[in-house]
Structure 1
């Protein structure tokens, strides 16, 4: 890769990293401040705090691995195993919490008269807790499977106790990451997709009802449906893009294509950073806080007094 492309790629990676940390950090900070002031936190805000925290961790893990690929440093098997487990934890909770958020939007916004839907709607908090607790066996199976496969692959690669992260260990890490995502992401991704499709069906029924009653389409229920759909479809598309970027990065690493690898890294970072930005824009409280911060920042840069409201 040429020096110009290298500088551009580093700039884009750092921009994605900054965007991800700022957007997720804002979610955590605002909700924690409200938690301290009001001494209570709504279920959706609790999900957002945990989701943003897992994504901040995930972003820094991606950056750490990328830095390791650019350095000449070495890493022991134990150190690589710890990093692998940390990535599994952050990726697992990031995916399952986003899925829980999709289920939460569906049950809070959709209007169905089905008995099973009403039963789950009345027990929404318990359902969300149950979904997250139900994900723990998947996490345990993922960690056990990764540990077993890791030891098997290490012996296949020669059983070195200290090897170059750029070659053997990076290849092993990419293979295990892709394998785990393919095997353990099907259930949460399917649940999020089903929630999205049901929300579309609910919106379609709602619009039909509005037409029969000769009412407009700009009612609060329609806005709530469309807002939730934007958040859910952005999650589905960005996660699918994240998975494809990992797949292409694995192929690029095998053929030593640094440019393609960097482009995949930039694309992969869009998932934990851009989706959190969409969450902020779709949440009136977080959106108002972000606009207020941007206004104060603009006034500070211009040297003006910050208006008090």
Structure 2
């Protein structure tokens, strides 16, 4: 039986999941319609479609895994379910972070101003850079999957004659989590570097505008500020996401603390829907489309006649 506090956090997690599915579904739908309308696929459109799709699957995976562990932990006894969720987690979680990191690098290369030869070379070949990052993602999968399969099979062999839930030594579990998240850490590091360099570019550009007495609200500065907001929000939300995952992982050592685990799930679920909201507010096309959707709803709500007794 769940306590009032546990039920409250589960309600928040479900609300976050619904908002995340709606927000990411909206981003994917708008960009798909834009691609069909223009009869061509842009890099930014493909990144946003891939990001929104992977996050919808990520939300379903987080909530499915969380609810199974909360309400039906015995389903993990056979090891099959945890094996399937582990493999899906590697693919979906890495894909989600890859699309977000690629989007951050795309904003950086498109908007930042540097005179260094390497940056100019990358800026002229922005599409190739995205494909290069995809290659790094595939290489990370080729490195990670054999390690994950080996650890999972070894754990199943050690527990084949046991009827209680699967047991994994603490050192093996930490190694398992390291391989699960090593690719994510690398991609997140690239986003941090892109955000840091973009902030430097904004600072230099602002100083240049001040020295020329042209003000700070020129189009380039506006683009810089919007991109910095999107990147910083991604970093903050991803840190919260990582904290939530760390809390869930720590519950391996304190399996009876159900409230702590539910709090970890709730914290991790903030990232998929929160960043989608930031993307909608920071992208003019998505913002205008959202206003077109919300405006009729607001008009209907305002025009709804009041019932008199």
**Equivalent residues of 2:148, 2:180 under 8 A apart:** no
Deviations 1:165-214 (A, max 9, x none): xx748x99975763235422232111111111110111111011101101
| Residue 183 of structure 1: aligned partner | 182
CA apart distance, 1:149: 1.2
| Residue 134 of structure 1: aligned partner | 136
Deviations 1:221-260 (A, max 9, x none): 1111111111111111221221122112222343221111
CA apart distance, 1:147: 0.7
Deviations 1:1-33 (A, max 9, x none): 863223312210111001110110001111111
Of 128-137 and 74-83, deviating more is 74-83
Gaps of 5+ in 2: none
The 3 A distance-change label for structure 1 pair 12 and 65 is same
| Residue 276 of structure 1: aligned partner | 276
**Equivalent residues of 2:16, 2:273 under 8 A apart:** yes
**Equivalent residues of 1:253, 1:261 under 8 A apart:** no
Task: Answer yes or no: is 1:32 the counterpart of 2:32.
Answer: yes
| Residue 250 of structure 1: aligned partner | 249
Task: Answer yes or no: is 1:144 the counterpart of 2:126.
Answer: no
- Find the residue that maps to 2:251 and give its secondary structure: helix
Aligned residue runs from structure 1 range 148-163, under 5 A: 148-156=150-158, 158-160=159-161
| Residue 22 of structure 1: aligned partner | 22
The 3 A distance-change label for structure 1 pair 245 and 174 is farther
| Residue 294 of structure 1: aligned partner | 294
| Residue 210 of structure 2: aligned partner | 211
| Residue 234 of structure 1: aligned partner | 233
**Equivalent residues of 2:101, 2:190 under 8 A apart:** yes
The 3 A distance-change label for structure 1 pair 36 and 245 is same
The 3 A distance-change label for structure 1 pair 94 and 104 is same
**Equivalent residues of 2:63, 2:265 under 8 A apart:** no
CA apart distance, 1:143: 1.4
| Residue 124 of structure 1: aligned partner | 126
The 3 A distance-change label for structure 1 pair 278 and 241 is same
| Residue 97 of structure 1: aligned partner | 99
CA distance in 1, matches of 2:175, 2:46: 31
**Equivalent residues of 1:28, 1:48 under 8 A apart:** yes
**Equivalent residues of 2:243, 2:267 under 8 A apart:** no
**Equivalent residues of 2:155, 2:167 under 8 A apart:** no
Q: What's the Cα RMSD here?
A: 2.4
**Equivalent residues of 2:90, 2:180 under 8 A apart:** no
Task: Answer yes or no: is 1:74 the counterpart of 2:75.
Answer: yes
CA distance in 1, matches of 2:241, 2:162: 31
